Amino acid sequence: MDPLTHTACVLMLNLPPSSLGGIDLLSFTTTPRFCGIKNLPPGWHFTFTSSSASLSVRHGAWFYVSDTNAPPQIFIKKWDPTAEDFVAESSEAEYRRWRANLGSVWRERLTPYRQHIGPSKFSSSSSDTVEESEDWKKLTARITPELLSRITGATPDHWNLTSASSAVQDFDEIPGLSKAETGFQHEKELYFLPIDLKRTWREGATGRERTQAAQDRSWALGELIDKHCTGNGLQEREFQVLGELQFTFLMVLTLNNHSCLEQWKRLLGLLLTCREGVKERPMLFVEVLRSLRVQLSHCQDAEGGLFDMSDDGGGILKSLLRRFRRGLEEDDMKASVDIIDELIDLEEYLKMEHGWELDDSFVKQGMLQLEDGERVEMDVGGFEEENESGEYAPIIVELTASQIDSMEGNESNHRIQSAVNEDDFELDEMDVRY
């Protein structure tokens, strides 16, 4: 092997025949000749596999290629058939042996990174694969070693997880049965940032403050950054939130990980319901909108309809984006110009690709059938899915100290059930919002 052509590579050894293999945004079906991928560019990479190309548990690992003049890096991952796991090579002797004999597999058994792949000895597919753009770099721009270590609890250059890895709040539990009795295989636990969208106010907050904190979750975002994100400066801590948004999206895209999908939704549910936070943390929201635009362009790549962008499947995201836009409008668009520009770009993309209308200045048309069978065409202007303006706006009621004491002292007679939805804090049985 000519040393001048030696570049960073990852070896993927002992993969079962016709198994799924992949790196970053590219996946393929392997053959016995496949041994790994060469010509890796500097930056983050995620390689994954499963024992078959069908719907089975996928295993993957993150690693980082340095941009240095040192000898090119070699990463060795292998399939362990006994444990059915994708592990890093731990034997130093084996590592040195593969490095010394890399020339024997370099030309014929390593495929170049992100080439145009047609029918070849590396893939059983007869269809061509189009080379990816620079999107992978954009999708991983805020991922860091510290973030991967926190979430996976794994060691550097092999931050691993599977499609069944889960955070505690997303574990599926069967009432009355222990985990051992269910027969579920124990999987790696994921340690996400703790987000509880049902409680977004400080301890001890009362009515009005809870109402405001439920409608504007900026306090909850700040608390999350201050208490659970680490870094040398405020902006570095803020970008850990974005890094986790990027991580969770990519683990859904490559591994079909359900827990990561739930955390991705929770993060968007927090970020896109902030109003003061948009003005306090402009760079974070610029990059969130920019990253979300790239993510949504790859939603169709996810298997099983995990990212459903239809009117029904995309309802939650559409509602969040409308609410985010409405917040900017009510603040007279006082957010930074960059945030507004990114939101406009995102809206234009969603309108062009999915037909979404995120502003409230459109008219919905449809046919309405009356009781006598007559069908008439109806126009509803300015329709909002969750209209809380005008006569539907929450009413703030100031309670006196005696009223509060009376409510707390007569709980048996006045059951108060608090329900926090996306927009308000509501006292159900008393029909009072405060």
DSSP codes joined into one string, 207-222: HHHHHHHHH-THHHHH
pLDDT exceeds cutoff 60 at 29? yes
pLDDT exceeds cutoff 90 at 402? no
Cα–Cα distance measured from residue 74 to residue 157, given in angstroms and rounded to the nearest whole number: 11
Cα–Cα distance measured from residue 206 to residue 196, given in angstroms and rounded to the nearest whole number: 18
**Residue type present at position 48:** F
Of 66-70, 162-166, 357-361, give the lowest mean pLDDT range: 357-361
* Average per-residue pLDDT for the chain: 80
**For the residues 14-41, what does the mean pLDDT come to?**
91
pLDDT given at position 425: 36
Helix (H) or strand (E) holding 27: strand 26-29
Which pLDDT tens digit goes with each residue over 257-272? 999 999 999 999 999 9
**For the residues 180-195, what does the mean pLDDT come to?**
73
pLDDT given at position 299: 87
Residue labelled with tokens 């070849």: 120
Of 70-84, 247-261, 262-276, 379-393, give the lowest mean pLDDT range: 379-393
Query: Do 43 and 139 form a contact (C-beta atoms < 8 A)?
Result: no
Helix (H) or strand (E) holding 9: strand 9-13
pLDDT exceeds cutoff 90 at 394? no
pLDDT given at position 143: 97
pLDDT exceeds cutoff 80 at 177? no
DSSP state letter for 388: -
Half-sphere CA count of 405, side-chain side, radius 13 A? 3
pLDDT given at position 267: 97
Q: How many CB atoms lie within 10 A of CB 414?
A: 13
pLDDT band (50, 70, 90) for residue 384: very low
Q: Does domain 3-132 have CATH number 2.60.34.20?
A: yes
Residue labelled with tokens 């939603």: 299
Cα–Cα distance measured from residue 211 to residue 426, given in angstroms and rounded to the nearest whole number: 8
Cα–Cα distance measured from residue 429 to residue 434, given in angstroms and rounded to the nearest whole number: 13
pLDDT exceeds cutoff 70 at 312? no
Q: In 3D, which of 263, 259, 58 has the Cα closest to residue 172?
A: 259
pLDDT exceeds cutoff 50 at 377? yes
pLDDT exceeds cutoff 50 at 412? no
Residues of the chain with CATH 2.60.34.20: 3-132
**For the residues 19-29, what does the mean pLDDT come to?**
91
- Cα angle 86, 87, 93; round to 5: 140
pLDDT band (50, 70, 90) for residue 397: low
Helix (H) or strand (E) holding 104: helix 103-109
pLDDT given at position 176: 52
pLDDT exceeds cutoff 50 at 35? yes
The alpha carbon of residue 212 and the mean position of all alpha carbons in its chain are separated, in whole angstroms, by: 27
Reduced to 3 states (helix: H, G, I; strand: E, B; else coil), residue 408 is: helix
Reduced to 3 states (helix: H, G, I; strand: E, B; else coil), residue 425 is: strand
Residue labelled with tokens 């694969």: 129
Reduced to 3 states (helix: H, G, I; strand: E, B; else coil), residue 73 is: coil
pLDDT exceeds cutoff 50 at 419? no
Half-sphere CA count of 346, side-chain side, radius 13 A? 26
Cα–Cα distance measured from residue 393 to residue 280, given in angstroms and rounded to the nearest whole number: 26
Percent of the chain with pLDDT over 90: 52
**For the residues 62-75, what does the mean pLDDT come to?**
89
Which pLDDT tens digit goes with each residue over 212-266? 999 999 999 999 999 999 888 999 999 999 999 999 999 999 999 999 999 999 9
Dump strand ranges (E) for 59-209: 59-65, 74-80, 85-88, 110-112, 159-162
**For the residues 303-325, what does the mean pLDDT come to?**
80
pLDDT exceeds cutoff 60 at 199? yes
pLDDT band (50, 70, 90) for residue 434: very low
More confident of the two residues 120 and 146 = 146
pLDDT exceeds cutoff 80 at 116? no
pLDDT given at position 308: 75
Query: Do 161 and 232 form a contact (C-beta atoms < 8 A)?
Result: no
Reduced to 3 states (helix: H, G, I; strand: E, B; else coil), residue 90 is: coil
Percent of the chain with pLDDT over 70: 71
Residue labelled with tokens 């340095």: 66
pLDDT exceeds cutoff 70 at 173? no
pLDDT exceeds cutoff 80 at 179? no
